[in-house]
Structures are given as C-alpha cells and as structure tokens.
Structure 1
Amino acid sequence: MPTPGPAVEIQQDEILTGEAVALDVQPVGYFLRAVGVLIDMVAGVALFLLLAAAASWAAGRNVLGGDLTSVFTIVVLVLVTVVIPTAVETATRGRSLGKLVIGARIVRTDGGAAGFRQAFIRALVGVFELWFTLGAVAGIVGAFTPRAERLGDLLAGTYSERTRTPKLPPEPPGVPPVLAGWAAVADVGRLPDRLARRIAQFVRQARDLEPAARTRTAMSLAAETRTFVAPVPAVDPETFLLGVVAVRRERELRALRGEDERAAALTAGVDVAPRGFPVR
C-alpha cells in the first residue's frame, strides 16, 4: 500500500497550481479595491450621461419617437452596466479603468487569466450589488471575505490581484577591494545571527544616516564584531563591516548552492559524500 505524501498547507495569500506548486500572490486590499470600483462606477455614470445627452439631442430633432426613446434608454443602461464592462474585462484580461489606476487585475482563484464567462458573471451580478444598492452589498461582502472579494467574484470564482509589486532592493555591495586578500582567509563563522542581521541592516541603511550617526553606529558595531572575527583587518569600521557582510553572504550562498547540487545528485542516483571524504 503506497504511503500518502505529505499534506500541502496552502496559506491565505497562496494559490495551488495544477502541478501542486503553491504560488505567493498579493490580492488588492479592501480600501484600494473600493477606490477602483468607485472609479469604474463614475466612468459608467459619465458614459451613461453622454449617451443620454445624445438621446435627448436625437429626440429634440425628432430622430427618435417616444417609444424608441424609452427603448434607447434601456439599451444604454444594459450597455453601461453589463455589455461594456464584460467586453472591457474580456479584452484586457481582467483590467478596467479603475483597476489600471490602482494597479490590479481580475484573475481566477487558481491564478489563471479571467475570461468572458467570469467577466459576464461579475458584470451581471454587479447590476444588483453595485448599481441597485450603490455598492453597499459589494462593500459588506468584501469586508468579510479573505481577499476583499465581492459577490460577483464569489460566484465567478475570481479575485483582484495586485500587478504593481515593490521594487527589488539594490544589489548588496561585494567585498571591498582593500579586503580582497583578507576575505580569502577570514573566519566569520562565529558571528551571532542577531549581530549579523544588525550589521546587514546598517549596511543597507548607511547612506540614509547622518554622517555623525553613521560613524558612531559603525564604530559600535565594529567593536562588537571584532570579538567574533579573525583576523581583524586594519581598516576603518565601516569598511570592516562591509567586508564581514560580504564574506558571510558569499559563503552562505556557496553553501546553499552546494546543498542544491548534492540534492540534485542524490535525486539522479549519484553517490555524494561530504567535501574532504572519498565516496566508497
């Protein structure tokens, strides 16, 4: 009897692909999404008024009769509330004017792009929860759903995903040239993780500190670090800290790559021994 595999725990902000891979996603927050919906509704009202003005002009010139004017009004309402939102979201893969402004798009709950069916269900339900109730139903439902989903999202199986992600932090500096020789023989393995995190944080934020505070912090951290590093190079405190962070990062990265290589070799059925020991 085969042994069942480990259970996969899916967090609130994760989706599970068909290959059972959990992907981290960033749903749009409640208030930001409300802004996007408000922009779409204002755009819809503006479009309706524009078309209504065109109908009034046509009625004034006897282009449309009384019965045709009523029919034209109903057609405009259907266009503004259902047809145009469905067409826009289908053509743009879940985008609209409001979503473009807030940096979002509508996607399926499995992470795939939304299509015509999802857009049509959302627009049709939106007639009730957005237009007939002025967004009250959408606001109440969104406040009690994990990803600020409105009723149309729940029925269509969609949610609003963030498309604007924060910028990646700048690449950390390498070993200063003056410490190139020292980095080859430096022992930084005894450095406590808590102190290492403080040093790394200082290196990232050093440029934003005032010169006096920058110098004072570098001297304090360097005094703590010298106890755990050997040999101690004869450089200024900030250069010393830059070298320690760079050496520690490079060695940890090398260790992680080594673990990946050994795991890949074991998966391929190749015997792998720790460095320095022959494979028997």
Structure 2
Amino acid sequence: MVRPQQPVVTGDAVVLDIQIAQLPVRALSSLIDVLVVLVAYVLGVVLWAMTLSEWNSAFSDAVLVVFTVLALVGYPLIFETATRGRTLGKMAMGLRVVSDDGSPERFRQALFRALSGVLEIWMLTGGPAVICSLLSPKGKRIGDIFAGTLVISERGPRMAPPPPMPPQLAAWAGALELSALRPESAELARQFLTRAHQLDPRIRDEMAGRITGEVVAQISPPPPPGAPAPLVLAAVLAERHRRAVQRLQPRY
C-alpha cells in the first residue's frame, strides 16, 4: 500500500509547500541509517575488543554499554537535533522530521523518536513501525505519534506559491487575528485564487463573494470597506503564509 502524498497544515491552518513522505522512501531511509549504525557499531566493537586486555572487565563492560546506547540512541538524536530533523538516511532520500504543525523538530521530540526506535526498529526489526505507518493517515510510526512529529519529503511535487500581498491591504493583513480560520476555508480560498482566471466572470464574482464572506466571518478585524474580494483573499493567504514561514525559521 503506497500512501498518497498530502500537504502539511500548520497550527495556523496554513497549507505549506511540503509533502508527507511515503512508506517505501521512509523504509529505504531507515535501511541506510541501520547500515550506518551497524558499520559504526562493528568498528567500535572491534576497537573495544582490542583494548580488553588494558582494562578491567567491569570498566570494559561499561564502555560497551555506553557505546551501544550512543549507537542506537545517540546517532538519531544527535543528527536530528543538529540538522533539524535529518539523519544520513534522510539526507540521502530528501526527507526531514518536523513537528505536526510543520515547525522544526525539537530536542524532546528527537529523543522520543530515538528511544522508541530502539524498540520499534532494533528489537522488533521494524514490524511495529511499518504496521503503524500503514494505519496512520500521515504515515506515522509509533515514535512519531508519541513525539508529535511526521516525516516529510523535501523533493515532492510543489504546490502553487502563495498569492503576493496586495500593497494596499498589507497594513490591514499584518494586524489580522487568524487563529479561527478553518483549514478548509483557507484551502478553498487558495484553490479559488489559483483557478480564478479560468472561470467565467459571472461565476468568478459569485464564488469570490461567497468564499470571501466565509473567510471574513472567521477573521478580525474585517477588511477595509470596498476592498475587492480577490484581493482580500490574497492578503489573508499571503499573511498566513508569511507567519507560518516565520515560525519555521530556526531560533537561536
């Protein structure tokens, strides 16, 4: 079963230009990571075995335990934290881990995913992860569910860019309260603006008025009197996209 790609909707109900990663791509990414960890672990064990005669058995056992934890938990945790959601396998396949709202993965989320990966991927050979991904609408494995994350494809097909901000409505849009706007309304407005030039003028005006009325009822303050409906929709979507992109920027 190959799950179709879906856009990610942020906490502000903005449809971002990212796509949910499909299971086969994720599986190949995980296989690459497993091979990296296995190679590193074998090399580490060889070095550990070569130094057994120099240390007492208790210290040697402690070193092996620490190295095992670093290999299984430290690798995904360090890489995903340092690269904001990417391991070597994900880099190779063009994938990235993000929060459910589209924002960058946090340390706590990377830790949850790394710890659950020991059980899902290493101890149970990936079976639970595959089953959970097949059942999840967004292809999540168990670690993603508990961490509040999902894996996206950065090489997926791109959606149409957001409309440009109408200069005459920029000040009004900057002061908007947008949290009440439903995802369906935002997506409907986006699709209308994308296809408006293909519609009959009478139908276009009728749809613009209806969709704008729905959107305006969910935002505040209302648009300036006499503002054309398509420009109001464009201003709302442009501002929502700007805020979403701003939230995705790294914070130092």
2: distance between equivalents of 1:271 and 1:132? Answer: 61
1: distance between equivalents of 2:149 and 2:106? Answer: 10
Q: For the structure 1 residues 153 and 18, does the alpha-carbon distance in structure 2 shift closer, same or farther, using more than 3 Å as the test?
A: closer
User: Please, which runs of 5 or more residues in structure 2 have no aligned partner?
Assistant: 161-194, 213-221, 229-252
Question: How much identity, in percent, do the aligned residues show?
Answer: 34
Match of 2:217 in 1: none
2: distance between equivalents of 1:150 and 1:100? Answer: 19
Match of 2:50 in 1: 57
Contact 2:32 2:89 in 1 (8 A): yes
Q: CA deviation at 1:17?
A: 3.0
2: distance between equivalents of 1:168 and 1:268? Answer: 30
SS at match of 2:97: strand
User: Structure 2 residue aligned with 1:29, among 22, 25, 29?
Assistant: 22
Count of aligned pairs between the two proteins: 177
Contact 1:13 1:24 in 2 (8 A): no
Q: For the structure 1 residues 65 and 40, does the alpha-carbon distance in structure 2 shift closer, same or farther, using more than 3 Å as the test?
A: same
Q: CA deviation at 1:165?
A: 3.1
RMSD: 3.3
Q: CA deviation at 1:24?
A: 5.8
Q: CA deviation at 1:252?
A: 5.0
One-letter amino acid of the structure 1 residue matched with residue 73 of structure 2? V
Contact 1:153 1:159 in 2 (8 A): yes
User: Structure 1 residue aligned with 2:156, among 165, 169, 178?
Assistant: 165
User: Please, which runs of 5 or more residues in structure 1 have no aligned partner?
Assistant: 1-11, 170-248, 273-280
1:269 and 2:225 correspond? yes
Q: For the structure 1 residues 136 and 271, does the alpha-carbon distance in structure 2 shift closer, same or farther, using more than 3 Å as the test?
A: closer
One-letter amino acid of the structure 1 residue matched with residue 40 of structure 2? L
1:154 and 2:154 correspond? no
Match of 2:100 in 1: 109
One-letter amino acid of the structure 2 residue matched with residue 42 of structure 1? L
Q: For the structure 1 residues 271 and 63, does the alpha-carbon distance in structure 2 shift closer, same or farther, using more than 3 Å as the test?
A: closer
Encode CA deviations 1:173-199: one digit per residue, 9 max, x unaligned.
xxxxxxxxxxxxxxxxxxxxxxxxxxx
Q: For the structure 1 residues 109 and 71, does the alpha-carbon distance in structure 2 shift closer, same or farther, using more than 3 Å as the test?
A: same
1: distance between equivalents of 2:12 and 2:132? Answer: 31
Q: CA deviation at 1:14?
A: 4.0
1:47 and 2:40 correspond? yes
Q: Superposed, which structure 2 residues align to 1:230-269 within 5 Å?
A: 267-269=223-225
Encode CA deviations 1:94-145: one digit per residue, 9 max, x unaligned.
0001111111000111111101001000001111111111112212211211
> Which structure would you say has the larger Rg?
1
Contact 2:37 2:75 in 1 (8 A): no
Match of 2:113 in 1: 122
SS at match of 2:152: strand
With normalisation by structure 2, the TM-score equals 0.61
